[in-house]
Amino acid sequence: MLTIIADSNIAHLHDYFNEQTLNHPIQVISMAGRDITADALQQYQPDVLLIRSVTQIDAKLLDTNQSVKFIGSATIGTDHVNEGYVSLRGMRFANAAGCSKHSVAQYVMSAILQLRPEYWASNTSQSDKPVKLGIIGLGNIGSTLARYALDLGWEVLGYDPFQSASVINNASVDKVLAQSDVISLHVPLTLTGHSELPTYHMIDADALAKMPSTTMLINTSRGAVVSEADLLADLNQNPERQVVLDVFENEPTVSAELLDKLTIATPHIAGYTLEGKLRGTQMIFDAFVRSYGEKGADILSIKQTDLMADLLPANPYHWSQLKQLPEKLPQFYDIKADDRQLRDSVNEQAGAVLGTDFDALRKNYTLRREWLFD
């Protein structure tokens, strides 16, 4: 019998992990990601952990455990996982790199175009001052966002010191900060000692001072990439600056003081589309199959399967059509409705959105659909 502990927020968990697809007796124990603790591991002795970003994978969780062999995170970000420790323990780890790249890119485009609809026409063919979109981090999401921006005829000022120079990786960070109309952050959260160029508080008072007050800032990466204290000080000085946050330095709590100064604020749902979450589950299922398959079929003789196609309803939304009908964008995704829901969750007494309410907004979020980028 294979025992799996899984985050109950993993989309279609049981459609993927069951005795038919795995051709093996299994028990799947699903629970809130924050409840996956050393005590739960002690109680259930799982072979497999399937998690999302709210479960910290480290010595505190695993030092007293000898049962876990495979850990899958149905997320892009891995800053919640001490991968060095996991490798040292001989456990297999897989994340879902790129699973929601289109979802997040489309969230960013929705925010920009709903706040500045004039940007639909601010392109190289119709304007002598096309939109300059600054993108910091040009991996799966940043490079996908660049595709949408270039498709609208915008200019991209991109900065990624770990990628080769290219048509989008074309600027210094100072040029991005000083010359962009909008800056969108798409970096992992890395700390000193884990990266030559750590991204922790990358957007601090110095960086903000280099950004004209008319420059919009969008953060869908991780909250701590932006210094919240410095951002608050900047917004007190530059109340006209438009800031869109989907991630927050002190998640899952969000201060009302900060919320009041943001233009758009959403509860870490930029990647929350049916496609994005399903791809995440499919990818860790595939990684699990590969991992166990490598150990020989005697443990698990599994056929790899693409369940995603069966689980996705037909998708009528096409970027090419949306572009022709810009006024349709808010009907496709009303980002301001998500903003209102978060603001309505503020606990006046606490002067903040409480962690339990933030988590509930995410758990109960109605997954959007991605539009097809064609």
Ligand X SMILES: O=C(O)[C@H](O)[C@H](O)COP(=O)(O)O
Ligand Y SMILES: NC(=O)c1ccc[n+]([C@@H]2O[C@H](COP(=O)([O-])OP(=O)(O)OC[C@H]3O[C@@H](n4cnc5c(N)ncnc54)[C@H](O)[C@@H]3O)[C@@H](O)[C@H]2O)c1
Residues that bind ligand Y (CB under 6 A): 76-77, 98, 100-101, 104, 136-142, 159-163, 186-190, 195, 197, 199, 220-222, 246-247, 268, 270-271
Task: Tell me the residue ranges of DSSP E strands in 213-326.
Answer: 216-219, 243-245, 254-255, 264-265
Task: Determine if residue 344 is labeled as part of a ligand binding site.
Answer: no
**Amino acid at residue number 135:** I
Q: Residues 223, 245: contact at Cβ < 8 Å?
A: yes
Is residue 140 close enough to count as binding ligand X by CB under 6 A?
Answer: no
Give the active site residue among 228, 249, 251, 275: 251
Q: If binding is defined by CB under 6 A, does position 52 make contact with ligand X?
A: yes
Is 268 annotated in the active site? yes
**Residue 251 among the catalytic residues:** yes
Which of ligand X, ligand Y, none is residue 352 near (CB under 5 to 8 Å by kind)?
Answer: none
Q: Is 137 in the site for ligand X (CB under 6 A)?
A: no
Q: Considering only CA atoms, which of 78, 210, 55 is closest in space to residue 136?
A: 210
Amino acid present at 334:
D
**Does 274 contact ligand X by CB under 6 A?**
no
Is 79 marked as a binding-site residue? no
Q: How far is the CB of 120 from ligand X (least distance, A)?
A: 27
- C-beta closer to ligand Y: residue 122 or 227: 227
Does the annotation list 271 as a binding residue? yes
Beta strand pairing call for 254-255 and 352-353: antiparallel
Q: How many residues bind ligand X (CB under 6 A)?
A: 10
CB distance 187 to 225 below 8 Å: yes
Q: Residue 236: exposed, middle, or buried by beta-carbon count in 10 A (0-12, 13-18, 19+)?
A: exposed
160 among annotated binding-site residues:
yes
CB of 9 to ligand X, least distance (A): 5
- Minimal distance, residue 371 CB to ligand Y, in Å: 17
Does residue 255 touch ligand X according to CB under 6 A? no
Burial 167-202 (b: 16+ CB within 10 A, else e): ebbebebeebbebbbbbbbbbbbbeeeeeeebbbbb
| DSSP-assigned beta bridge partners for residue 182 | 133, 216
Q: Strand, coil or helix: what is 202?
A: coil
Catalogue the active-site residues.
Answer: 222, 251, 268
Which residues make up each annotated binding site for NAD(+)?
160, 246, 271
Question: Where is the binding site, in residues?
Answer: 53, 75, 160, 246, 271-272
As annotated, the binding site for substrate includes 53, 75, 272
